[in-house]
Amino acid sequence: MSEPQWERTLTVTTAEQTHALAAAVGGVLEAGDLLVLTGELGAGKTTFTQGLGEGLGVRTGIISPTFVLVRIHPNLQDGPRPGGPDLVHVDAYRLESAAEIDDIDLENTMDTAVTVVEWGRDRVEHLSDSRLEVELHRSVGGGGALPATGTGVLDFDTDDDDEPRTIVFRGFGPRWAEAPRLLETTTSSEGGN
């Protein structure tokens, strides 16, 4: 399953737009969905996940120690999707392999939750026969020419200033046979015939 069924590229100009786009995506996700987030340090993976949480209507603001790898955000009865999926948020940055992913037992929660894995590429694909990849880039309009991970000079500044981002979505497997309609609002990089 190395070839995506489709790819859509959107650009945003502010962190709030990233959040809002993710919230819209969160509105169409279902229990069992796996999202793999890729992008250099500070690209906006956590910002995107927070937006997903809003769209899913899960509890936010759970205070976690820095080195917790998995956070479970339960769905809220008074949120936009009562009875909907929980959000399981994984940061796989420190995990080296698929084997280490297996140690944290995501299978237990996958059926009732949306599972979002920052730095998940090449580590979590085996968890599901379908996945939605979300790739965030700090450069705009590069058409994927730049490296996806931080091989260049890393900027460790906490950058709260709004900057443009390119966000590339790719669908893999039967769950993502078609792109969600909300991704069709702007130019897409590939037509679906």
Ligand X SMILES: Nc1ncnc2c1ncn2[C@@H]1O[C@H](COP(=O)(O)OP(=O)(O)OP(=O)(O)O)[C@@H](O)[C@H]1O
E strands, 39-143, where?
70-73, 86-91, 113-118, 131-137
| Least distance CB 193 / ligand X (angstroms) | 31
From 20-28, 37-45, 65-73, 103-111, span contacting ligand X (CB under 6 A):
37-45
DSSP letter (8 states) at residue 174: G
Query: 3-class SS at 176?
Result: helix
Q: How far is the CB of 123 from ligand X (least distance, A)?
A: 14
**The dihedral sign for the CA sequence 53, 172, 37, 91:** positive
- Structural tokens at position 174: 């039967």
Segment 124 to 163, residues that bind ligand X, using CB under 6 A: 158-160, 162-163
Amino acid at 112: T
* Residue 53 found at the interface with ligand X (CB under 6 A): no
Residues in the chain, overall count: 193
Pick from 5, 11, 17, 46: which binds Mg ion (CB under 5 A)? 46
Given the complex with ligand X, which of 46 and 188 has the nearer CB atom?
46
CB of 74 to ligand X, least distance (A): 22
Q: How many residues touch Mg ion (CB under 5 A)?
A: 2
